[in-house]
Amino acid sequence: MAAGKGTRMKSRLPKVLHRLAGRALLQHVVDTASGLDARRVVVITGHGAAEVEAGVARRAGGELQFVRQEPQLGTGHAVQQAVPALPDDGIVVVLSGDVPLTQADTLRELIAACGGDKLALLTIAFDDPTGYGRIVRDAGGSVQAIVEQKDATDAQRQIKEIYSGIMAVPAARLKPWLARLDNKNAQGEYYLTDVVKFAVAQGVPVVAHQISDALQVAGINSPVQLAELERAHQQRVARRLMEQGVRLADPARFDVRGELSCAQDVEIDINCVFAGRVELGEGVKVGAHCVIANARIAAGAVIHPYTHIEGGASEKDRVEVGAGALIGPYARLRPGAKLSDEVHIGNFVEIKASTLAQGAKANHLAYIGDSIVGERVNYGAGSITANYDGANKHTTVIEADVHIGSNCVLIAPVTIGAGGTVGGGSTITKDTPPGVLTVARAKQVSLSSWQRPQKKK
């Protein structure tokens, strides 16, 4: 269900498209459903339907289907819209697009509790159950009904066990119940939760699968709740990594917005953000305030503070940092930067779509783009590859053992021959021969006849 408005977010963006851990809330739910090998994932949209439908994708195999609910007359009415999309022989798991952190294992347990013929409700006990539907049981403990806060008697409001909004139910049972829902209640809505009454009346067993992990059923209604759930989730991710041996300077200042995998003895200083798929090899150290996306960083590499590594998701665009490399502080590695072992990249150096072979160094204020850089090359301060002619990108080849002086411009396409040296301040437009010094700048002259202008009296 993802048709609701999310008024309390006070945002133009539909609520379910707000992001937690770098993914839309609804995407979390769709991914979890996909993880159950669901035959079909049906998303019920309404408020901002077109935007929501464009903003979510099914990544694993199978079908992602959208049905629209207009207007939005309640959760029961929402699920009614999905009826044509639900095969009669299936089990329907109802999820909310704004409850992102339910685990697939929990849903598997819920489906097992349903057992193909029962109505299974995911429930939890809250000290403060205000606002939630209460699980009403009879003297023998059997579930009799879910009563919404606004419809509950004072006695019912004392009940701590609440309905999470998640249920598993055979489609063949659900469909006739949905057809019988009415909106005669305090909110004038078609409540999905009324199906419990129908089940009880028909003698269909209703089972409550009660969990204790509140994060799994936490819904987002406001920016405050979104930030709280984000932090709770990140603390959990941090704890899991620390339990594997990763040393985090401060788990409260650490964010993973994708997948981070770490080998032994990884150290991460404060305020780092990891996005996409990031792999850190053994003994990798990441300094404070680094942002690292889609990168593979090999054993022993050190990423100094304030480094920005922004790889892309594809193999080609992923950033590679070789073993023992030293990167930063203040370095920027862009998509397709492939650095071999022992490469050194210093402050204010930008690398894009280039390979740097073992031991190459660019330590200060430089740009290397669309380039192939050989072993042990030393690339001077302030030098750049001019890779773009205004229409097309061209390749710069810098062969092994070349020294590029400071403040050079290498105008691509161009090849600097192995072992050659380019004098500081040169603008190189033609290939240079190997092993020699190439200088391309105006000759220095000193004029003894020149006189400095004097101020007029």
Kindly state the helix (H) or strand (E) to which residue 225 belongs, with its residue range: helix 223-243
Q: Residue type at 272?
A: C
Strand, coil or helix: 170: strand
Per CB under 6 A, the list member of 98, 161, 350, 401 interacting with ligand UD1 is 98
* Whether 227 contacts 32, CB under 8 Å: no
> Looking at beta carbons only, is 133 or 420 nearer to ligand UD1?
133
Give the shortest CB-209-to-ligand UD1 separation in angstroms.
Answer: 15
Name residues whose C-beta falls within 8 Å of residue 155's C-beta, 6 or more positions apart in sequence: none
Rounded Cα distance between 418 and 395, Å, is: 16
Dist. CA 173–CA 193, nearest whole Å: 14
Q: Indicate which single residue of 43, 44, 136, 368 sits in contact with ligand UD1 (rule: CB under 6 A).
A: 44
Q: Does 133 bind ligand UD1 (CB under 6 A)?
A: yes
**Minimum CB–partner distance for residue 71 and ligand UD1 (Å):** 8
* 193 touching ligand UD1, by CB under 6 A: yes
Q: Nearer Cβ to ligand UD1, position 168 or 351?
A: 168
For ligand UD1, which residue of 27, 80, 96, 294 counts as binding (CB under 6 A)?
96
364 flagged as catalytic: yes
Catalytic residue from among 18, 308, 364, 394: 364
> Hey, which residues does 321 pair with through a beta bridge?
297, 339
Sign of the alpha-carbon dihedral angle for 102, 107, 108, 113: positive
Residues 6+ apart with CB under 8 A from 26: 2, 16, 17, 43, 52, 55, 56, 97, 98
Q: Is 152 in the site for ligand UD1 (CB under 6 A)?
A: no
- Residue 162 interacts with ligand UD1 (CB under 6 A): yes or no: yes
Contacts of 11 (CB under 8 A, 6+ apart): 18, 223
* Ranges within 58-87 binding ligand UD1 (CB under 6 A): 69, 72-75, 77-78
Residue 53 burial class via C-beta count within 10 angstroms: exposed 0-12, middle 13-18, buried 19 and up? middle
Q: State the residue number with the nearest CB to ligand UD1.
A: 133
Helix (H, G, I), strand (E, B) or coil at 98: coil
Shortest gap between Cβ of 257 and ligand UD1 (angstroms)?
22
The distance of closest approach from Cβ of residue 21 to ligand UD1 in the complex, given in angstroms and rounded to an integer, is 19
Which listed range, 85-93, 159-167, 296-304, 370-378, lies at the site for ligand UD1 (CB under 6 A)? 159-167
Residue among 164 and 432 whose Cβ is closer to ligand UD1: 164
User: Are the C-beta atoms of 267 and 287 separated by less than 8 Å?
Assistant: no
Going from the C-alpha of 52 to that of each of 14, 16, 34, the distances in angstroms are: 7, 7, 18
Answer for which of 14, 100, 165, 369 binds ligand UD1 (CB under 6 A) is 165
Question: Residue 170 interacts with ligand UD1 (CB under 6 A)?
Answer: no
Positions 334 through 393 that interact with ligand UD1 (CB under 6 A):
none
Among 14, 30, 32, 97, binds ligand UD1 (CB under 6 A): 97
The values of phi and psi at residue 431, to 5°, are -55, 145
Tell me: does residue 174 bind ligand UD1 (CB under 6 A): no
Q: At closest approach, how far in Å is the CB of 74 from ligand UD1? A: 5
Active site residues: 364
Which residues lie near ligand UD1 (CB under 6 A)? 1-4, 44, 46, 69, 72-75, 77-78, 96-98, 132-133, 146, 148, 162-165, 191-193, 219
